[in-house]
Amino acid sequence: MLSVTQMNAFLGNTLQLLRRSIELGGFPPELYEYLSRPKRILAVSIPVRLDGGGLAFFEGYRVQHNDALGPYKGGIRFHPEVSLADDVALATIMTLKDSLAGIPYGGAKGAVRVDPRRLSPRELEELSRGYVRAVAPLIGDELDIPAPDVGTNSQIMAWMADEYSKIAGRNVPGVFTAKPPELWGNPVREYSTGLGVAVIAVYAAKALWGSSDGKTAAIQGFGNVGRWTAYWLEKMGVKVVAVSDVNGTVYKRGGLVAAELIEKNRNARGPDLLSQVAKYNDASIAQDPGAVFGIDADILVPAALENAITEDNVKLVRAKLVVEGANGPTTPEAEKALYERGVVVVPDVLANAGGVVMSYLEWVENLQWVMWDEEETRARLEKIMADNFKRVHQRWVQEKGWTVRDAAYVIAVERIYRAMKARGWI
Ligand code: NAD
């Protein structure tokens, strides 16, 4: 680790997973020395003139972890508690996620320590443009391509792409992804992560039980990932029996009908959708958001936040298949308990990669100034996700005693290792 980075628990866990996969895969220990350090860290300070008149300074970072496989790629997080160690951990995970997805990217991540909800739209725009000016020398459409993450969205990407284009003196669509369709974005991006989770869940169900038809699913979280996972699972013939958000859990044994409502509310934010789903299905909302874990369903999709399934609630879980829609929703202790009970956990790096795979597709469109229609884009996305699943599954069945996460991480590390070896870095 670089000495400027202060260790924290998140980075510690990330490095532990990295070390384990390097040992399991039989790679040289030197590889750990390489991958436990980011290649470059940029720390910046962004001044914003506040509406009230004062000047505020926000601290930001761009961490470029590894570019053996291609240009750096990773989101920008706006969050009041983000630290450099978090950013290093997230950049490391991006290197692995991009590698596993088979796309030509290395890993990076950006962050600004700010609570975006406390800024006015004008202040937020100034901060977004200021961040781009600060990191501009290090990013570019064939150098480092950021995207949204927690606290950032397609509007922020539009401001950022515009600011970068002003600096370059020409339109540079490929420097940011997940932009709005009006600015060279692709409409599939909105639901790409949920679609990817559903594709992976269906493939995993087929691998475990021979078919996914009529299988049941419970989904924790009804935001972007949770609701589009529900939508696509329903379309793919899986019965979604429960969905939850911070306010509670809606359950209907025979299966909820939600796809139409989700489609109709595709741009809506906030908690109202869950109550609409309850009303439409004549079901009630159990006030306990945690009730979703104890639902009798074949598949459980945690799609809310990290550390959702823990040592404390893992005994409630009745599903035989857990598909991680969120990042880091299962703690290592909970995963161990699930493994011992024969429950299969499909990890985040595989299951929720639909967003970054869609970013890759948007980037390919942007570099060539072409625009695929929704159906064509979706078919490409689904194929990449399915191929990723098959690779991980094949490795997992070969290696006795491995979790699916072990198989995914080892495949990811292997691809990076081969590229580094071919380049003569190691
Ligand atoms: P979001 O803010 O749109 O939705 C989060 C949802 O979780 C909300 O419905 C919220 O009510 C619910 N929630 C929060 N705490 C809960 C609790 N205790 N019980 C039940 N529900 C709870 O966020 P999102 O974009 O859907 O992201 C969700 C997760 O997926 C995050 O871990 C994120 O990092 C990850 N992820 C998102 C994307 C993407 O493209 N949006 C891609 C990859 C990974």
Confidence at 120, pLDDT banded by 50, 70, 90:
very high
244 lines ligand 1 (CB under 6 A): yes
Query: Is 109 one of the catalytic residues?
Result: yes
Q: What is the pTM of this model?
A: 0.95
Q: Which of 318, 342, 366 is the last residue of a domain?
A: 342
Considering only CA atoms, which residue is closest to atom 17 of ligand 1?
Answer: 246
157 token code pair: 């990407």
> What pLDDT, in 10s, does the model give residues 280-308?
999 989 999 999 999 999 999 999 988 89
**Domain final residue pick, 309, 342, 375:** 342
- Is 305 close to ligand 1, i.e. is its CB under 6 Å away? yes
Residue of 232, 245, 324 to mutate, ligand 1, most atoms within 8 A of C-beta: 245
pLDDT at 3: 82
Per-residue pLDDT, averaged over 368-375, amounts to: 97
Flag whether 329 is in a domain: yes
Taking only the tens place, the pLDDT of each residue in 163-173 is: 999 999 999 99
Q: Is residue 55 within 8 Å of residue 48, measured between CB atoms?
A: yes
Contacts of 210 (CB under 8 A, 6+ apart): none
Mark whether 222 and 152 lie in a shared domain: no
Specify whether 198 is located in the same domain as 322: yes
Q: 283 near 256, Cβ under 8 Å?
A: yes
Predicted confidence (pLDDT) per residue in 237-273, tens digit = 999 999 999 999 999 999 999 999 999 998 776 668 9
**Ligand 1 center from residue 425 Cα (angstroms):** 38
Are 140 and 258 part of one and the same domain?
no
Give the pLDDT score at 420. Answer: 98
Task: Determine if ligand 1 sits within 6 Å of the CB of residue 330.
Answer: no
The three-class DSSP label of residue 152 is coil
The CA 298 to ligand 1 mean position distance, Å, reads 21
Q: Ligand 1: which of 179, 225, 246, 381 to mutate, judged by most atoms within 8 Å of the beta carbon?
A: 225
* Number of domains the chain is built from: 2
Buried-state track 231-258, b at ≥16 Cβ within 10 A, e below 16: bbbbeeebbbbbbbbeebbbbbeebbeb
For residue 185, which of 155, 207, 164 has the smallest C-alpha distance? Answer: 155
Residues 169 and 305 in one domain: no
Token reading at 283:
């079901």
pLDDT band at 413 (very low <50, low <70, confident <90, very high): very high
Flag whether 252 is in a domain.
Answer: yes
Q: Is residue 381 over pLDDT 80?
A: yes
Q: How long, in residues, is the chain?
A: 426
| Ligand 1 atom with the shortest distance to the CA of 304 | 7
In a domain, 409, yes or no: no
> How far apart are the C-alpha atoms of 211 and 165, rounded to whole Å?
49
**Domain of 210?**
192-342
CA pair distance 264, 151, nearest whole angstrom: 24
Any atom of ligand 1 within 6 Å of the Cβ of 99: no
The answer, yes or no, to whether residue 224 has pLDDT greater than 70, is yes
The residue among 272 and 334 whose pLDDT is bigger is 334
pLDDT at 272: 86
Is the same domain home to 153 and 280?
no
- 140 C-alpha to ligand 1 centroid (Å): 29
Task: Tell whether ligand 1 has an atom less than 6 A from the beta carbon of residue 82.
Answer: no
pLDDT of residue 46 exceeding 70: yes
What the block records as the tokens of 419 is: 């590229």
CA angle centred on 48, ends 94 and 124, rounded to 5°? 55
Alpha helices in 250-291 (DSSP H): 259-264, 272-280
Catalytic residue among 39, 73, 109, 252: 109
Beta bridge partners of 245: 248
CATH code at 249? Answer: 3.40.50.720
Same domain for 251 and 131, yes or no, is no
273-281's contacts with Cβ under 8 Å and 24+ in sequence apart are: 273/222, 273/227, 274/222, 274/243, 274/244, 274/245, 274/247, 274/248, 274/250, 275/247, 277/222, 277/243, 277/250, 278/250, 281/250, 281/252, 281/256, 281/257
Q: What percent of the chain has pLDDT over 90?
A: 93
103 and 141: one domain? yes
pLDDT of res. 270 = 63
Judged against a pLDDT cut of 80, whether residue 176 lies above it is answered with yes
Pull the structure tokens for residue 154.
């397609």
Q: Is 201 a domain residue?
A: yes
What's the CA-to-centroid distance between 302 and ligand 1, angstroms?
9
Rounded mean pLDDT, 410-418? 98
Query: 57 in a domain, yes or no?
Result: yes
Q: Report how far ligand 1's centroid is from the alpha carbon of 195 (Å).
A: 15
CATH number at residue 163: 3.40.50.10860
Q: What is the per-residue pLDDT across 61-105, written as a single tens digit (0 to 9) for each? A: 999 999 999 999 999 999 999 999 999 999 999 999 999 999 999
Q: Is the shortest distance between the CB of 325 and ligand 1 below 6 Å?
A: yes
Predicted local confidence at residue 266, as pLDDT? 84
State which of 342, 377, 401 marks the end of a domain. Answer: 342
Claim to verify: residue 70 and residue 203 sit in the same structural domain? no
